[in-house]
Amino acid sequence: MDINLLNFNATNLTNFCGEIGERPFRAKQLLRWIHQSGEDDFANMSNLAKVLREKLSVTAVVKPPQVISEHISADGTRKWLMDVDAGNGVETVYIPESSRSTLCISSQVGCALECTFCSTGRQGFNRNLSVAEIIGQLWWANKVLAATKKETVSRVKSFDSETRQVFPSGHNYRVSNVVMMGMGEPLANFENVVSALDLMLDDNAYGLSRRRVTVSTSGLIPAMDRLSERCPVALAVSLHAPNDMLRDQLVPINKKYPLKELLAACQRYLNTAPRDFITFEYIMLAGINDSVAQARELVKLVKDTPCKFNLIPFNSFPNSGYRCSSSDAIDRFRNVLMQAGLVSTVRRTRGDDINAACGQLAGKVLDRTKRKSHVTMEAAR
């Protein structure tokens, strides 16, 4: 059976090279070819001995998930649907900005955690993505961007104003930041996500700094502790409520890992984190968690935790049952946080014309938990 080299971080690739009788430096060369040059054909890896290239072509492959469709938003955001077998698909979103380009990566097919406002959670859980399927999203994005660069350079020469708008000048056509905020709970797929993170940080692969790679979690405390030891990248924690009673409803995993313990875990994470604060994500749901009193309660809750807030306007999806807070309500909420000295930004919604915004990613999930029928029935009532 062909071995997919996209599944290997540096350690595993070195072991693989050992198994086929090759020296460790070959692993470095392979990493560079695969991840820096985006090469998937061993025949083109010119600094590898011919015998090795032939050996690899009969034992191994470089196989990212296949892209089924691409959507490009008016604001330049791109969304790719990736085939992950058996009728399942996950989504990856690329968000270009003038100073950085961020890739939002999925970690699971669906999600088992059932947050009530999340389209992925509503679909149920199918399976974890492999390392190749996770890092393959970044591999693919950089490859498309490199191709776009070539194309754009020739088009811009002919003064194509549309292209200039989509890719602002100075854009470097390479992913500079990764956020694990796509479909799934990254810390529920710990080993594969961490191997993919290793590759993102590896100088022979993507060479991103730990500050530019963010894992977002709904608060799986034991896995947060393991991440802080194994691969402490920037951490975003989905808070969404100022007390356990409301959080139990919105983020059901809170019943297992309640707020007091979650905040203590955030404090521990800061010992190894690349930044001196935790980012708290807080979704703005009209009439549910957006009152001034709740903002004050939130201020009290986090008073001992160095943090910043990212307020996320709720992005709707069919039969969600929620509405986004008004911009006045968001401003009032934000002002309470700011007056208490908490840096708070409102996340600008990107790509919502192609359903690429936070929590709208649906992909194609064949639910193995069989909860979908329940949701469909609810929606039909």
Residue 222 C-beta: closest distance to ligand SAH, Å: 16
Q: Which of 5, 62, 103, 118 binds ligand SF4 (CB under 6 A)?
A: 118
313 touches ligand SF4 (CB under 6 A): no
By rule CB under 6 A, what string of x and - marks binding of each residue 265-294 to ligand SAH?
Answer: ----------------x-x-----------
Q: What angle do CA 100, 103, 104 make, to 5 degrees?
A: 135
Closest to 81 measured CA to CA, from 354, 344, 319, 378 = 354
The whole-angstrom separation of Cα 256 and Cα 55 is: 50
Nearer to ligand SAH, 56 or 131 (CB): 131
Least spacing, CB of residue 257 vs ligand SF4, in Å: 12
How far is the C-alpha of 363 from the C-alpha of 68, rounded, in Å? 10
Q: Is 289 in the site for ligand SF4 (CB under 6 A)?
A: no
Q: Which partner in ligand SAH, ligand SF4, none is near 91 (CB below 5 to 8 A by kind)?
A: none
Piece of 130-138, 225-233, 252-260, 312-320 that binds ligand SAH (CB under 6 A):
312-320
Distance between CA 38 and CA 379 in Å, rounded?
Answer: 44
Residue 236 touching ligand SF4 (CB under 6 A): no
Q: Residue 102 touches which of ligand SF4, ligand SAH, none (CB < 5 to 8 A by kind)?
A: none
Q: Residue 4: enclosing H or E segment and its boundaries?
A: strand 3-4
Q: Which of 38, 65, 96, 359 binds ligand SAH (CB under 6 A)?
A: 359
Q: Which stretch binds ligand SAH (CB under 6 A): 85-93, 94-102, 286-294, 308-316?
A: 308-316
For ligand SF4, the closer CB: 9 or 238: 238
Spell out the residues 6+ positions from residue 358 whose beta carbon is closer than 8 angstroms to its own: 181, 312, 315, 347, 349
Q: Does the active-site annotation cover 104? A: no
User: Where are any strands of DSSP class E within 43-87?
Assistant: 60-61, 66-72, 78-83
Identify the H or E element spanning 109.
Answer: strand 108-110
Which residues have C-beta within 8 Å of that of residue 8, sequence separation ≥ 6?
16, 131, 195
Tokens of 292: 């001034």
User: What is the rounded distance in angstroms from the CA atom of residue 258 to the CA atom of residue 280?
Assistant: 15
With beta carbons less than 8 A apart as the criterion, state whether 152 and 163 touch: yes
Give the nearest distance from C-beta 196 to ligand SAH in angstroms: 14
What amino acid occupies position 67?
Answer: V
Contact between residue 104 and residue 138 where contact means Cβ atoms under 8 Å apart = no
Which is closer to ligand SF4, CB of 111 or CB of 356?
111
120 counts as binding ligand SF4 under rule CB under 6 A:
yes
By CB under 6 A, residue 362 contacts ligand SF4: no
Q: Which stretch binds ligand SF4 (CB under 6 A): 85-93, 107-115, 260-268, 297-305?
A: 107-115
Site track for ligand SF4 across 169-188, x = CB under 6 A: ---------------xx---
Q: Does 111 bind ligand SF4 (CB under 6 A)?
A: yes
185 included as an active-site residue: no
Structure tokens at 125: 């859980």
x/- site string to ligand SAH, residues 179 to 218, per CB under 6 A?
--x---x------------------------------xxx
Helices (H), 77-213: 119-122, 131-157, 161-166, 190-201
Options 104, 266, 307, 358, the catalytic residue: 358
**Using CB distances below 5 to 8 A depending on partner kind, what does residue 358 bind out of ligand SAH, ligand SF4, none?**
ligand SAH
Residue 281 backbone phi and psi in degrees, to 5: -95, 140
Residues that bind ligand SF4 (CB under 6 A): 111, 113-115, 118, 120-121, 184-185, 218, 238
Residues taking part in catalysis: 91, 358
